[in-house]
Amino acid sequence: MYKRLIYTSRAVSSVQLRDVYDIIRISNNRNSSSGLTGGLLFLDGYFIQLLEGAPHSIAERYDRILQDKRHFDIEIRFEETSDELLFPNEWMALRDISQIDPAILRSYDYKPGLPKRTFNGDRIADFLRACFAIEAVFS
Amino acid sequence: MSNSLLEFEPISARHRAERESTGRSICVIDSDFRIVFANQCFWDLIDLPPAGFQFVDIEMVLASIREDDMRNQLTSILYKNSATKTASARFELANKKKRYSLSIDSLIGDGLVLTVEQASIDSVPQAAPVYFGVKDELTGLLTRAGFNSTSSQLMQRSTEEIAVLFIDLDHFKPVNDTLGHQFGDQVLKVVAQRLRKATREFDAVARLDGDEFAILQVGGIQPAAGKALAIRIGSSLSEPMLIDDQTIHIGCSIGIATFPFDGETIDDLLRNSDLALRAAKNVGRGTIHFFEPHLAERARLRRKVEPELRDAIEKEQFELHFQPLMNLETNKLVSFEALVRWMHPTMGRIPPDQFIPLAEETGLIVPLGEWVIRNACQIAAKWDHPFGVAVNLSTVQLSSRRLIPAVVQALKESGLPAERLELEITETALMSDSSAAIATLHQLRDYGIRIAMDDFGTGYSSINYLRKFPFNKIKIDRSFVTGIDQSEGSYALVKMITALGNTLGISTTAEGVETEGERESARSAGCTEMQGYLLSRPVPCSELNDLIGRLT
């Protein structure tokens, strides 16, 4: 019923906290029409974003994301379908390493960009869930 | 319930530590010595959980402080000085080796503000600014003044993100009008209770005015924390209320502005959250909207344009442009739609989407609309060919008593036969005061004037409005026409609309025709007429003769 997608990308050097806030608030304002929710991490110059919602809306949004000039090296790291939403109500965002419990960073052996050799799709999804303190949803 | 809410917003460990070491503890007490507002610093200082202590007697709160030294010191300072109502004192906790400076300031009217800061040995306690009338009589929430000063205090020393929520009740006015002000007051009290329940004890909650409320939320990560709070409030306020055996439903719309992204001062934040609230209301009732910078731009532009608009109407700075409509079967020109253009002497050409909504909001659309009708009739009456002329009518004009006399006068003065005049209205014009609007339309139609429904298909129930009034024409919105030659779906829909029109004896115009393909499809789908750039863009009077020459 729902599609869930996680991508990582590198922010261009001029991106600041204000830009990240901007991305989130616009998503919040537009989401009532697109029905998408999710979570965004901005850590050490990398974006890690989870999007979920109707497959058609996800495809449309992802197209726009690919064209956004604020980032590059965009890669999909995780995709699945699910009957439940991890973020039913809202967009959440964490924008700084200090906002994440250090224990989580340690236990996942966090490295900037969540490199592929140590983070496969499932691991990224688990990491995001832990960061946002979301109970794991087993579909 | 309140306790579990504290877990919703993520507050970083770092922020909590910062607050404790550099923060200022603030506690506001009303004339009954009950705590009206206190920030998290205050609760950390006295090491008590905020839950359950708001609106409790300060005496009880102090008595609950576990640390003997702290309790005794604070109690004695407060009671020694409460009579004089202004004081500053310093005290020291022996075991922690910390020094504090405390100031008590009176509020004009009632109440006190306690401010406690950690002090170095040499620092002089600073007097906190005096607060005026901090509590709203009816609801017990902060007043606008109380909210402003409390918020300024918090923002001065804050390194955290802050959200200001501007809340407006959706259905309060009808309730107040039909059930009376006393009932309305009860509703406001219930609203205030629900707002307090939805917020944490250290968020500031205020009743600004009438049915407007504001909340200052400190220490959450924005925009997530603000959004979460807004959602809680939205669902709480849409729960039915039982008052005096009446069950009523009130909802709310919420605008959110955050610090530091949307403003540096509480004034900025309130203003911007108000702009966000208006944007929310434009989207629909019961919505939540975050401030976006372009809203401020738009507001600034409006403030600039409005006085100019009044001036322009007096000085007749407008011009009419005309866009042709052609019959798809005969390929003959039938009429022109008159569109108003504004040429400002210094600001240049101001597009209609920047002044028409403004004119509607200010009521200036009435004199402007009269100018348009008068001039459209005069110009059309002078044409060699008996083409029709169509003029757009807004909701505001439709409910003005000046409309019919103005139209009748315009026809008389120009000598234009009523049958050549067409008035276009959208379905929103019919939505709000529908029976009065329909009566007016009947009157106009009785004079022989034609009535068209514009932007057909874009509203909630276009077809329903066809039942309410015998329209002469349906103008099919361009969204159906664009790409109609490429889309089976659009074609089918237009065909359905024209079939409906045929059955009801209503002609149909395809709007926004830009390509030959679209024209051909519109024709074969059964549309009576077309309008659009394929034929011509709107042109000023001076170019009309050439245009007519080209097209006939």
SS3 assignment for B531-543:
ECCCCCCCEEHHH
Q: Which residues contact B249 (CB under 8 A, 6 or more apart)?
A: B171, B238, B240, B241
Q: Indicate whether B83 and B52 sit together in one domain.
A: yes
Is the per-residue pLDDT at B103 higher than 50?
yes
Region B213-230 average pLDDT: 87
Q: Are B407 and B444 in contact (CB under 8 A)?
A: yes
Nearest beta carbon to residue A91 from set B224, B283, B289: B224
Question: Chain A residues with CB inside 8 Å of B12's CB?
Answer: 98-99
Is B298 domain-assigned? no
Region B316-322 average pLDDT: 92
Is the per-residue pLDDT at B15 higher than 70?
no
Q: Indicate whether B420 and B474 sit together in one domain.
A: yes
Two structure tokens written together for B96: 């922690």
Is the per-residue pLDDT at B322 higher than 70?
yes
Q: Bigger pLDDT: B270 or B47?
A: B270
pLDDT for position B95: 61
Q: Say if A111 is an interface residue toward chain B (CB within 8 Å).
A: no
CB contact under 8 A, A29 and B290: yes
Is the per-residue pLDDT at B109 higher than 60?
no
pLDDT for position B9: 33
Give kind and range of the element (H or E) at residue B235.
helix B224-237
Is the per-residue pLDDT at B2 higher than 50?
no
Question: Chain A residues with CB inside 8 Å of B261's CB?
Answer: 18, 21-22, 25
CB contact under 8 A, A91 and B227: yes
Q: Indicate whether B398 and B503 sit together in one domain.
A: yes
Nearest beta carbon to residue A29 from set B10, B258, B289: B289
Q: Say if B291 is an interface residue toward chain A (CB within 8 Å).
A: yes
Q: Are B250 and B234 in contact (CB under 8 A)?
A: no
Q: How far apart are CA B547 and CA B534, in angstroms?
A: 13
Q: Which CATH number does the domain housing residue B528 bear?
A: 3.20.20.450
Structural domain range at position B345: 305-551
Nearest CA in chain A to B293: A22
Is the per-residue pLDDT at B104 higher than 80?
no
CB contact under 8 A, A26 and B221: no
Fold of A2-131: Alpha-Beta Plaits (3.30.70)
pLDDT for position A48: 93
Q: Which CATH number does the domain housing residue B50 bear?
A: 3.30.450.20
Q: Say if B292 is an interface residue toward chain A (CB within 8 Å).
A: yes
Question: Chain B residues with CB inside 8 Å of A32's CB?
Answer: 283, 287
Q: Indicate whether B177 and B28 sit together in one domain.
A: no
Nearest beta carbon to residue A29 from set B13, B224, B292: B292
Q: Are B428 and B395 in contact (CB under 8 A)?
A: yes
CB contact under 8 A, A90 and B221: no
Q: Are B256 and B226 in contact (CB under 8 A)?
A: yes
pLDDT for position B128: 40
When mean pLDDT is compared across A108-117, A122-131, B107-116, the lowest value belongs to: B107-116
Q: Which residues of B202-213 are buried (b: 16+ CB within 10 A; e: fewer)?
A: bbbbbbbeebbb
When mean pLDDT is compared across B267-276, B292-301, B437-446, the lowest value belongs to: B292-301
Q: Which CATH number does the domain housing residue B258 bear?
A: 3.30.70.270
CB contact under 8 A, A25 and B231: no
pLDDT for position B53: 66
pLDDT for position A129: 85
pLDDT for position B124: 47
Q: Say if B272 is an interface residue toward chain A (CB within 8 Å).
A: no
Distance from the Cα of A29 to chain B's closest Cα (Å) equals 6
Q: Indicate whether B177 and B123 sit together in one domain.
A: no
Is B7 domain-assigned? no
Distance from the Cα of A25 to chain B's closest Cα (Å) equals 6
> pLDDT tens for residues B403-440?
999 999 999 999 999 999 999 998 877 776 678 888 99
Q: Indicate whether B143 and B125 sit together in one domain.
A: no
pLDDT for position B305: 85
Q: Where are the alpha helices (DSSP H) in B82-126?
A: none
The residue among B15, B254, B258, B261 with the most chain A CBs within 10 A of its CB, best to mutate, is B261
> pLDDT tens for residues B72-83?
888 877 776 655
What letter represents residue B319's amino acid? Answer: E
Nearest beta carbon to residue B261 from set A21, A32, A133: A21
| Count of alpha carbons within 13 angstroms of residue A73, beta-carbon side | 11
Q: Which of B95-99, B448-452, B456-460 has the highest mean pLDDT?
A: B448-452
Distance from the Cα of B462 to chain A's closest Cα (Å) equals 21
Last residue of a domain, one of B80, B102, B129: B129
> pLDDT tens for residues B166-190?
999 998 888 888 888 899 999 999 9
Q: Indicate whether B209 and B321 sit together in one domain.
A: no
Question: Chain A residues with CB inside 8 Å of B224's CB?
Answer: 24, 90-93
Q: Bigger pLDDT: B202 or B440?
A: B440
CB contact under 8 A, A25 and B223: yes
Q: Indicate whether B249 and B367 sit together in one domain.
A: no
pLDDT for position B81: 64
What are phi and psi for residue B274, nearest 5 degrees?
-65, -40
User: Taking Cα atoms as reference points, which of B526, B527, B517, B514 lies closest to residue B486?
Assistant: B517
Is B14 domain-assigned? no
In this structure, the number of other CB atoms found within 10 A of the CB of residue B266 comes to 23
CB contact under 8 A, B228 and A32: no
Question: Chain A residues with CB inside 8 Å of B160's CB?
Answer: none
Q: Which residues contact B408 (CB under 8 A, 6 or more apart)?
A: B447
Mean predicted lDDT score pLDDT of chain B: 84
> pLDDT tens for residues B16-43?
444 444 567 888 887 777 887 787 888 8
In this structure, the number of other CB atoms found within 10 A of the CB of residue B105 comes to 19
ipTM of the complex: 0.76
Q: Which residues contact B2 (CB under 8 A, 6 or more apart)?
A: B51, B52, B197, B200, B201
Question: Chain A residues with CB inside 8 Å of B13's CB?
Answer: 101
Which letter does DSSP use for residue B346 in this model? T
How far does chain A reach from its first CA to its final CA, in angstroms? 12
Q: How far apart are CA A21 and CA A28, in angstroms?
A: 11
Number of structural domains chain B divides into:
3
Q: Indicate whether B321 and B437 sit together in one domain.
A: yes
pLDDT for position B127: 43
Two structure tokens written together for B116: 């406690």
Nearest CA in chain A to B254: A29
Last residue of a domain, one of B291, B317, B339: B291
* Helix, strand, coil content of chain A in percent (nearest 5): 35, 30, 35
Region B498-523 average pLDDT: 95
pLDDT for position A91: 66
Backbone CA torsion sign across A53, A55, A61, A67: positive
Q: Bigger pLDDT: A119 or B47?
A: A119
Two structure tokens written together for B497: 């609309």
Is B6 domain-assigned? no
Q: Indicate whether B324 and B402 sit together in one domain.
A: yes
> pLDDT tens for residues A42-83?
888 999 999 999 999 899 889 989 998 889 999 999 999 999
Q: Are A31 and A60 in contact (CB under 8 A)?
A: no
Last residue of a domain, one of B129, B146, B177: B129
Give the DSSP per-residue string, B413-475. Answer: HHT--GGGEEEEE-HHHHHTTHHHHHHHHHHHHHTT-EEEEEEETSSS-HHHHHHHS--SEEE
Q: How far apart are CA B51 and CA B232, in angstroms?
A: 18
Is the per-residue pLDDT at B503 higher than 80?
yes
> pLDDT tens for residues A106-118?
999 999 999 999 9
Q: Quick one: pLDDT band at residue B207, thresholds 50, 70, 90?
A: very high
> pLDDT tens for residues B343-369?
888 888 888 888 898 888 888 899 999
Q: Bigger pLDDT: B174 or B126?
A: B174
Distance from the Cα of B483 to chain A's closest Cα (Å) equals 20
Which letter does DSSP use for residue B52 in this model? T
CB-defined contacts A:B, below 8 A: 48
Q: How far apart are CA B221 and CA A48, in angstroms?
A: 17
Is the per-residue pLDDT at B126 higher than 50?
no
Question: Chain A residues with CB inside 8 Å of B4's CB?
Answer: none
Region B365-382 average pLDDT: 95
CB contact under 8 A, B224 and A90: yes
Question: Chain B residues with CB inside 8 Å of A22's CB?
Answer: 261
In this structure, the number of other CB atoms found within 10 A of the CB of residue B145 comes to 17
Q: Quick one: pLDDT band at residue A41, thresholds 50, 70, 90?
A: confident
CA B192 distance to own-chain centroid: 21
Two structure tokens written together for B13: 């460990």
Distance from the Cα of A134 to chain B's closest Cα (Å) equals 11
Is the per-residue pLDDT at B150 higher than 90?
no
pLDDT for position B436: 83
Q: Indicate whether B532 and B465 sit together in one domain.
A: yes
User: Taking Cα atoms as reference points, which of A8, A6, A92, A5 lies closest to residue A56?
Assistant: A5
Percent of chain B with pLDDT over 70: 87
Q: Indicate whether B457 and B513 sit together in one domain.
A: yes
Question: Chain A residues with CB inside 8 Å of B291's CB?
Answer: 25
Is B12 domain-assigned? no
The residue to which tokens 């939205």 are assigned:
B234
Q: Quick one: pLDDT band at residue B12, thresholds 50, 70, 90?
A: very low
